[in-house]
């Protein structure tokens, strides 16, 4: 029974995929000075930062391979009895790179040595993948507005960055993530796929990233736009990010970046005196620290256990000045005499058909008795401020300062453990929070809250000199709420007593939308939303590498469980239009006033949702693949691959 269970678990692991691989590989061929291959040579690859080493032997074809290596600086040494040892230093292995390092051994003693440094840059000769690696130096040294490394994708050929995003994205998900629109090879920005350390980093709603790590966390990232190995899937464009491990030396940074209006120029204006600067404060601060972990009486921390910690905070404060047109105090009291004689208002309650024509009596002196005001309309006036600017005409008579605040925090903790030369572990925990508040006319601002969490654990295990297995598990959780200033605070719809509207869920609490007003500004909350998304992704992935003769086989797969919960829709608080048609002349259809219609409660159109939409989507996907890199000749490498994807449609658990 136990044996059967073990075989079942092993078979499951070996059929799980890792797309979005963020490790690298060093391969090569060993020959002597006559050009003959050298089988049985010992090859050792050592990570310079952690001193972790892997050992392999050249096979009968003189080939060696080190799959599943963490990106970084490496040193490779080749030894064979009867030949001088050769060491190649300063090998920079990049994310998803297959670096080919060939060696030529000279006859001599093992006590002699050949050191190779300053070699030419490595060429990509082992696969046909089209992509660009943005290495750590460019990430750290190039100027980035807001320390956003995604701006560097524009360094890749055939990439467009920074164009406008679809309105639905900002309206239903929002935040700074909705502004990161990237087109790879002319494809839609929503077709991109993001991974972080080989684990899913893509939200299933709009295919935007979940976590945007600090640049102090990143080792490097790769932008791929086509001709993928079979292990890649799910999207047309790949942006695969690798986090930075700790090392034997302590490295850290403490930083703060500041921007404010004192550093900005005054706005240009044709007036004799320029207007004042718009208040603006922007702070980004945090720290990064990595190094060895020392545990007393167990080991001194060298070469075994490492950590990397990072925290970054983002604070953005900006003040905008907005102009609105609101009814005068007289209009709010029913006095529209200012509009005479050109715009006579008519009483809709007196409409009648006389001699085949629809008529109505005018309001005397364009004044509406307060006894005719609708009680709901009187309550709505609370959210329609009185003018605070004296103007000769009804236009731009209310000015308001509208602050906008953005707060973001993120933290990443990575631990690397070299169990032995045949087993390396690493795990990472990351979280991010973002809160944005935009003020509206009065109590109708919008709020955004986003929370992301990611957990992952990986193990690389050398089973034999020709067989290496790499296993990962990951969990993502993503919560995103676009709500209202009064969400959870005040149920205005209940106070107004509007029939047919239900706001039982506190996230829908807010002000109904009053729109289509002629000559004055509308008010209330937008009819779109709220929208709350609560996603979770569970992954188990595995890659198995096997060197057999001139073939480098790689196969594996992934099992993935998606949970996608969403609630929200449009018109949760209702939308009401007042275009002035009921106080106009019913025969000529001229005149009328939107504010007068609102005071009387005679609306021209109403829209409302009968309930708040709610869904619980679920899906379990399986992906399998096999890749073969066949080094048919020293100057000919053939890549062959096959991929199978089982991606069922979501089923709604709430139905």
DSSP state of 430: E
How many angstroms separate the CA atoms of 56 and 464, rounded?
8
**Which among 595, 474, 459 is positioned nearest to 523, based on CA atoms?**
595
**Which among 204, 217, 207, 206 is positioned nearest to 238, based on CA atoms?**
207
3-state secondary structure 81-129: CCECCEEEEEEEECCCCEEECCEEECECCCCCCEEECCCCCCCCCCCCC
How many angstroms separate the CA atoms of 508 and 573, rounded?
7
Token pair, residue 74, equals 């490496």
How many angstroms separate the CA atoms of 218 and 133, rounded?
12
How many angstroms separate the CA atoms of 307 and 391, rounded?
64
How many angstroms separate the CA atoms of 547 and 557, rounded?
18
Token pair, residue 28, equals 């090569």
pLDDT along the chain (655 residues), means of 10: 39 36 84 92 92 90 89 92 91 85 86 62 58 81 87 84 74 80 80 89 89 91 78 76 90 92 72 71 95 73 86 95 95 94 94 91 96 96 95 93 94 93 93 94 94 95 90 95 93 91 87 95 92 95 91 92 94 94 93 96 93 93 93 85 93 89
Give pTM, 2 decimals: 0.83
Sign of CA dihedral 152, 154, 158, 159: positive
Q: Which residues contact 590 (CB under 8 A, 6 or more apart)?
A: 584
Radius of gyration of the chain (CA): 33
**Which among 627, 617, 621 is positioned nearest to 645, based on CA atoms?**
621
pLDDT of residue 524: 96
How many angstroms separate the CA atoms of 388 and 27, rounded?
74
CB-neighbour burial class of residue 652 (10 A; exposed 0-12, middle 13-18, buried 19+): exposed
DSSP state of 249: S
Count of Cβ atoms closer than 10 Å to residue 644 Cβ: 14
Q: Which structural domains are found in the chain, ordered by start?
A: 15-116 (2.60.40.1120), 121-334+373-574+609-655 (no CATH)
Cβ atoms of 580 and 346 closer than 8 Å: no
How many angstroms separate the CA atoms of 498 and 434, rounded?
34
Q: Return the H-helix or E-strand segment holding 564.
A: strand 551-568
Report the Cα 510 to chain-centroid distance in Å.
28
What strand order describes the sheet that includes 86-93?
A: 53-57, 42-47, 72-79, 86-93, 114-116
Please confirm whether the linkage preceding 185 is cis (ω < 30° from 0): no
Angle at 584 between CA 580 and CA 586, to 5 degrees: 125
pLDDT of residue 5: 38
Token pair, residue 41, equals 């040579």
How many angstroms separate the CA atoms of 494 and 498, rounded?
7
3-state secondary structure 445-479: CEEEEEEEEEEEEEEEEEEECCEEEEEEEEEEEEE
Count of Cβ atoms closer than 10 Å to residue 607 Cβ: 13
């Amino acid at each position: 029974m136990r044996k059967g269970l073990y075989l079942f678990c092993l078979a499951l692991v070996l059929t799980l995929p890792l797309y979005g691989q963020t490790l690298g590989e060093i391969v090569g061929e060993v020959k002597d000075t006559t050009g003959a291959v050298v089988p049985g040579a010992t090859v050792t690859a050592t990570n310079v930062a952690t001193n972790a080493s892997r050992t392999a032997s050249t096979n009968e074809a003189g080939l060696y391979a080190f799959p599943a290596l963490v990106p970084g600086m490496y040193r490779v040494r080749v030894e064979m009895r009867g030949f001088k040892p050769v060491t190649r230093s300063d090998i920079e292995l990049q994310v998803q790179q297959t670096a080919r390092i060939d060696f030529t051994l000279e006859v001599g003693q093992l006590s002699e040595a050949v050191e190779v440094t300053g070699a030419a840059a490595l060429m990509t000769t082992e696969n046909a993948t089209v992509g660009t690696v943005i290495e750590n130096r460019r990430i750290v040294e190039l100027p980035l507005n807001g320390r956003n490394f995604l701006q560097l994708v524009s360094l890749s050929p055939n990439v467009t960055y920074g164009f406008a995003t679809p309105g639905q994205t900002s309206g239903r998900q929002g935040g700074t993530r909705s502004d990161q629109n990237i087109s790879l090879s002319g494809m839609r920005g929503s077709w991109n796929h993001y991974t972080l350390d080989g684990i899913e980093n893509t939200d299933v709603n709009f295919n935007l990233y979940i976590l945007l790590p600090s640049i102090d966390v990143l080792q490097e990232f790769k932008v791929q736009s086509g001709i993928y190995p079979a292990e890649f899937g799910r999207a047309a464009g790949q942006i695969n990010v690798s986090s930075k491990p700790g090392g034997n030396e302590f490295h850290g940074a403490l930083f703060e970046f500041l921007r404010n209006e004192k550093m900005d120029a005054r706005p240009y204006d044709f007036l004799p005196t320029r207007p004042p600067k718009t208040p603006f404060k922007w702070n980004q601060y945090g720290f990064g620290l990595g190094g060895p972990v020392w545990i007393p009486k167990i080991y001194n921390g060298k070469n075994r256990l490492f950590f990397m910690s990072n925290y970054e905070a983002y604070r953005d404060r900006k003040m905008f000045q907005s102009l609105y047109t609101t009814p005068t105090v007289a209009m709010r009291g029913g006095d529209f005499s200012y509009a005479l004689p050109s715009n006579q208002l008519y009483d809709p309650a007196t409409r009648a058909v006389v001699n085949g024509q629809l008529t109505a009596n005018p309001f005397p002196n364009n004044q509406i008795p307060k006894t005719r005001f609708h009680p709901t309309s009187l309550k709505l006036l609370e959210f329609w401020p009185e003018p605070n600017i004296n103007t000769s005409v009804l236009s731009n008579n209310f000015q308001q300062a509208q602050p906008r605040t953005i707060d973001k925090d993120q933290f990443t903790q990575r631990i690397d453990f070299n169990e032995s030369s045949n087993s390396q572990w690493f795990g990472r925990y990351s979280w991010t929070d973002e809160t944005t508040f935009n003020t509206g006319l009065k109590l109708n601002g919008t709020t955004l809250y986003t929370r992301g969490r990611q957990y992952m654990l990986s193990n690389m295990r050398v089973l034999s000199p020709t067989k290496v297995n790499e296993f990962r598990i990951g969990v993502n959780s993503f919560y995103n709420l676009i709500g209202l200033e009064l969400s959870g605070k005040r149920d205005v719809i209940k106070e107004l007593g509007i029939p047919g509207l239900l706001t039982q869920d506190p996230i829908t609490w807010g002000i109904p939308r009053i729109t289509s007003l002629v000559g004055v500004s509308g008010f209330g909350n937008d009819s779109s939303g709220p929208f709350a998304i609560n996603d979770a992704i569970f992954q188990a992935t595995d890659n198995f590498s096997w060197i057999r003769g001139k073939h480098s086989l790689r196969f594996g797969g992934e099992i993935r469980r998606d949970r996608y919960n969403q609630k929200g829709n449009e018109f949760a608080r209702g939308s009401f239009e007042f275009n002035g048609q009921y106080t106009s002349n019913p025969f000529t259809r001229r005149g009328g006033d939107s504010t007068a219609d609102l005071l009387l409660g005679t609306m021209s159109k109403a829209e409302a949702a009968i309930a708040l939409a709610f869904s619980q989507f679920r899906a379990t996907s399986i992906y399998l693949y096999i890749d073969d890199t066949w080094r048919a000749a020293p100057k000919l490498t053939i890549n062959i691959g096959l991929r199978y994807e089982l991606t069922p449609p979501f089923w709604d658990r709430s139905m």
